Amino acid sequence: MPDTNEKFGRSSVFYDTFERRGAEEKSTHYCPGCGHGTVQKMIAAAIEEFGIQDRTIFLSPVGCSVFAYYYFDTGNIQCSHGRSPAVATGVRRTLRDAVIIGYQGDGDLAGIGLAEIIHAASRGENYSVFFINNAIYGMTGGQMAPTTLLGQRTLTSPNGRDQFNDGRPIGMAELISVLPAPVYVERCSLSTPKQVLKTRLAVRKALRYQIERKGFSFVEILSPCPTNWGMTPIQARTWVTEHLETVFKLGRLKDYDEDVPVPADPVLHPIDDQQMLTLLTAGGIPTVKTSVEKRPSRSFKIGGFGGQGVLSAGELMAACALSEGYRVSWLPSYGPEMRGGSANASVICSDDPIGSPVVDTPDVLLAMNGPALDAFEHTVAPGGVILVNSSVVNQKTRRTDVSYYAVPATEMAKEAQLISAANVVMVSACLAVTGFLSIQTLRESIPRVLRKKAFLERNLGLVDATITYLQQQEII
Amino acid sequence: MNYVEVHCDECKGCAVCVSSCPHGCLEIGDSLNAKGYPYVRFIKQMRCSACGLCFTVCPEPAALSVYTSKEE
Amino acid sequence: MAYRLMKGNEAAVIGALLGGCTHFFGYPITPASEIAQGAAYWFPLSGRMFMQSESEVSVINMVYGAASAGARAMTASSGPGIALMSEGISYLAGARLPAVIIDMQRSGPGLGNIWPEQSDYNMVVKGGGHGDYRNIVFTPYSGQEMLEMTRDAFEIADTYRMTVFILSDAYIGQMMEQVSIDGPVFHGKRKDWAVYGDAQSRNNLITSIHMNTHLQKEHNDLLQSVYKQVSADLVDYETIDTDDADIVMVAYGICARIGLSAIRVLREQGVKAGLFRPKTVWPFPACAIGDLAARKTKLLVVELSSGMMADDVELAVKGRTEVARFGMVGGVTPKVEELVQAVTDMIRGGRDA
């Protein structure tokens, strides 16, 4: 009629026809009197009102509303059962300006996906969750839900929900509201026109807060399921009032304090490619091959107790070899062994690509304590080297086919007031007696491996002290 | 003149709009639509205030449209 | 030439950054935690996103969300965590979303322990989740390869809209080696199917549910045609001394490293031994192994399981040559001399070394 305006009508946020449902289709797949359609119309109206249709991404759950993407002319992502809040998190961390709509039923949100919704709420993910609570699993045909009322008959509680067998219904709005992060939590209902209008306001508010980047909003909506309740749509609405609303109290449990300024959410600023390469290659070890001819490979085993710097001694050795042009591998003992108790590291240096990184027959053993000598001395290759920390190791090796050296590494480190650096003494002595790598390389490598730069001078001092000791003892 | 337009093929006859109308302007008719549902009919045009409750409670996106007189 | 000395776990993170990964979702588990820890350090430093989730179930769905929104997203875990992710990985496959997942295999079943095994092979290579789907699976055997395979995984995942796995083990992750870091740095491009929350992508839908048997069949046939293409494009392997070999070890990851040492010893002893190292286990290098079988080269499959990859080798061999299985489980790795002995036994005619 030319003299009238359409005041209420189909939202432009819905597709004109629901082609994903079927050609020329205009009605939903929901049963007559279902609450889903009513809520989805409110969401569509709010999206239209705020002018955010292009920005909106609707997350379809599993359940009757799995096909919400038939209707919403927005970006759509269908999620696995219960995981919509995790998907929302992934989307939010990728698209700062998207408007994300979480839409979940009671089995989805309060059952299988309880952990996901609690944690998304607890992180305060900036998105809006609409929780449709109809106290039953709808799509699977009417089984008991976490929110099914005591005594309510369903296919899997045929005698009524029993608190001893089935537990009691979960109040999700209450649960969410006790978390510090959510900014808005309200429970609404579709029972009467008055409640429907209140729900409409809550839907709008939850979306507005998201647009304003205020944080996580949660609107629980008590919704009729006439089909699975075995009622007419009108009876179902009365049942919401008389039963659901007496257990799940309506009202606003939490709201944003408008006096509090909106906190700034972090914005990522990716660095450019050159900055990236500079960042990643920092600490690189310049490699100069010291010989044109192929050099023999060497394998090392370093053993001791956790805290003696066993693993970092190996790393230092590997760093030295790498800078002299060897290929290297370093393999730690790890796991339970690593947390206290014994530790050992295997290091291989070779001009060829290294095969097994496991050192079963080391050319050189560095025993930082007695148990390490006991454990590994019999594995040393004939003609190999055993070097012990004589501050700790009292016994001598039983092997007669190896070169044996003893250095009071712990005492020397203590003297230098750096007890943690006994490993540097051991590595220095090892390189000095074997001549495998130069002491100058060691001096250059220490700063590359050392984590506490303040101790650099004392570490370098220990290299000198070790050389001096070995000369005094006429070992070198 | 206010009125409610019913797109009868989108109506599933749940009657939630009928029970929501404060002025009793709607009723479920006897005939069936293309999908086999009885559908709502707009009666008593003079009483409609175009409040939109029928539209708001209706679960279908396009079953009802509510029109209001143009204000001159 | 400058190298950095780093663990395989760190090399994976560096590879991810070079590969244009912008989102890492993690959950701690030994022996993969260092990947998440590395990402927690490097990602924010370079303006990319790291977050620790509440569970592996959430992790994979966060990856699903970020991938839906067009991001290059990844995670890393070990067997128990990958098992929890399996449903989500099936959804990624169904919705044709690209993702990269690293599995630092440890001993199973159950809690097992944190020592290396290669017993996630069937779970990762054959599916793990429900439905008829595939993952592309790379098997690095060094820190350098860990970096390069992880880097390239993102391009490949985007190209085929599939999940790419880096199937590794605790040794390769824990071992430190020299790794060279070079450009270029890759970046994801805008995807015409992703949901960006803008006008251009408004009509896009990410879903794995289909309306009727006709559409479901069409979709599943499409997946199979992609898998066929991947099989034609991506098979990768390395052969060492196989040309004249009487016997070839087939191994990946840490076993390939031990195998490499073993064939050197065997060659010194005058035994014509070689190493066949799959770099992809799906698609599996069946043709190349078939060629060895056609030449009657004996095969010894070495793996840290009772013989999972060995099944694929036997399928490729089709009974044309002798295949023996050297499986070791429980976190123990074979010693070089044990492999040498096994090969020697097999050459002498002993079966099932």
- The 8-class DSSP code of residue A169 comes to -
Residues of chain C with Cβ-Cβ distance to A355 below 8 Å are 257-262, 264, 336
β partners of residue B67: A6, B3
| Res C70 pLDDT > 70 | yes
Residues of chain C with Cβ-Cβ distance to A119 below 8 Å are 53-54, 58
Residue C216, min C-alpha distance to chain A (Å): 14
Every domain of chain C and the residues it spans? 4-234, 237-347
**Count of domains for chain B:** 1
Helix (H, G, I), strand (E, B) or coil at A379: helix
Is the distance from CB of A97 to CB of A127 less than 8 angstroms? no
Please indicate whether, in this complex, the C-beta atoms of A119 and C51 are within 8 angstroms of each other.
no
Please indicate whether, in this complex, the C-beta atoms of C2 and A319 are within 8 angstroms of each other.
no
Instruction: Please give the backbone phi and psi of residue A332, each rounded to the nearest 5 degrees, phi first.
Output: -90, 155
pLDDT score for A260: 84
For an interface test with B, the pick among A7, A196, A237 (most B C-beta atoms closer than 10 Å) comes out as A7
Residues of chain C with Cβ-Cβ distance to A360 below 8 Å are 335-337
Residue given tokens 């059952």 in the structure block? A111
Residues 6+ apart with CB under 8 A from B35: A27, B9, B12
In angstroms, the CA A250 to CA A42 distance is: 18
Domain A294-472 has CATH 3.40.980.10: no
Q: Which residue of A has its CA nearest to B60?
A: A37
In angstroms, the CA C276 to CA A288 distance is: 32
Is the distance from CB of A310 to CB of A303 less than 8 angstroms? yes
pLDDT score for A390: 97
Is the distance from CB of A332 to CB of A345 less than 8 angstroms? yes
C265 touches chain A (CB under 8 A): no
> Looking at residues C7-29, what average pLDDT do you find?
98
Please indicate whether, in this complex, the C-beta atoms of A327 and C31 are within 8 angstroms of each other.
no
Residue C5, min C-alpha distance to chain A (Å): 7
pLDDT tens for chain A, residues 1 to 476 = 557 889 999 999 999 999 999 999 999 999 999 999 999 999 999 999 999 999 999 999 999 999 999 999 999 999 999 999 999 999 999 999 999 999 999 999 999 999 999 999 999 999 999 999 999 999 999 999 999 999 999 999 999 999 999 999 999 999 999 999 999 999 999 999 999 999 999 999 999 999 999 999 999 999 999 999 999 999 999 999 999 999 999 999 999 988 888 888 888 999 999 999 999 998 899 988 888 899 999 999 999 998 899 999 999 999 999 999 999 999 998 654 445 578 999 999 999 999 999 999 999 999 999 999 999 999 999 999 999 999 999 889 999 999 999 999 999 999 999 999 999 999 999 999 999 999 999 999 999 998 888 899 999 999 999 999 999 999 98
User: Would residue B72 count as lying in a domain?
Assistant: no
Put simply, the chain A residues between 379 and 408 with a CB less than 8 A from any chain C CB are: none
Confidence category of residue B70, pLDDT binned at 50, 70, 90:
confident
In angstroms, the CA A292 to CA A56 distance is: 64
Please indicate whether, in this complex, the C-beta atoms of A115 and C211 are within 8 angstroms of each other.
no
In angstroms, the CA C19 to CA C23 distance is: 12
B45 touches chain A (CB under 8 A): no
Length of chain B: 72
In angstroms, the CA B9 to CA A160 distance is: 38
pLDDT score for B72: 45
Is the distance from CB of C90 to CB of C60 less than 8 angstroms? no
| Res C12 pLDDT > 70 | yes
Neighbours of C246 (CB within 10 A): 15
Domain A35-254 has CATH 3.40.50.970: yes
Is the distance from CB of C235 to CB of C251 less than 8 angstroms? no
Q: Which domain holds residue B57?
A: 3-67
C127 touches chain A (CB under 8 A): no
Neighbours of C49 (CB within 10 A): 21
Ranges B8-12, C164-168, C180-184: which has the least confidence: C180-184
Put simply, the chain C residues between 67 and 96 with a CB less than 8 A from any chain A CB are: 67-71, 73, 87-88, 91, 95
Positive or negative, the Cα torsion across A431, A435, A436, A442? positive
Residue type for C125, please? Answer: V
Tens of pLDDT, residues C180-223: 998 899 999 999 999 999 999 999 999 999 888 999 999 999 99
pLDDT score for A2: 58
A347 touches chain C (CB under 8 A): no
Tell me the residue ranges of DSSP E strands in A258-402: 285-286, 298-305, 327-332, 342-350, 364-367, 385-389
Please indicate whether, in this complex, the C-beta atoms of A86 and C58 are within 8 angstroms of each other.
yes
C and B touch per CB criterion (3+ pairs under 8 A): no
Chains that touch B (3 or more CB pairs under 8 A): A
CATH architecture label of C4-234: 3-Layer(aba) Sandwich (3.40)
C209 touches chain A (CB under 8 A): yes
- The 8-class DSSP code of residue C87 comes to H
Tens of pLDDT, residues A308-357: 999 999 999 999 999 999 999 999 986 544 455 789 999 999 999 999 99
Tokens encoding A410:
């712990």
Tokens encoding C113:
């322990």
> Which strand (E) or helix (H) includes residue C148?
helix C143-160
In angstroms, the CA A218 to CA A118 distance is: 11
Residue A82, min C-alpha distance to chain C (Å): 10
Please indicate whether, in this complex, the C-beta atoms of A358 and C335 are within 8 angstroms of each other.
yes
Instruction: Report the CATH number that the domain containing residue B24 is assigned in CATH.
Output: 3.30.70.20
Residue A274, min C-alpha distance to chain C (Å): 9
Every domain of chain A and the residues it spans? 35-254, 294-472
Residue type for C96, please? Answer: R
Ranges A259-263, A414-418, C311-315, C345-349: which has the least confidence: A259-263
> Looking at residues C114-122, what average pLDDT do you find?
94
B and A touch per CB criterion (3+ pairs under 8 A): yes
| Res B62 pLDDT > 70 | yes
B58 touches chain A (CB under 8 A): yes
Helix (H, G, I), strand (E, B) or coil at C16: helix
CATH fold of C237-347: Rossmann fold (3.40.50)
In angstroms, the CA A367 to CA A392 distance is: 10
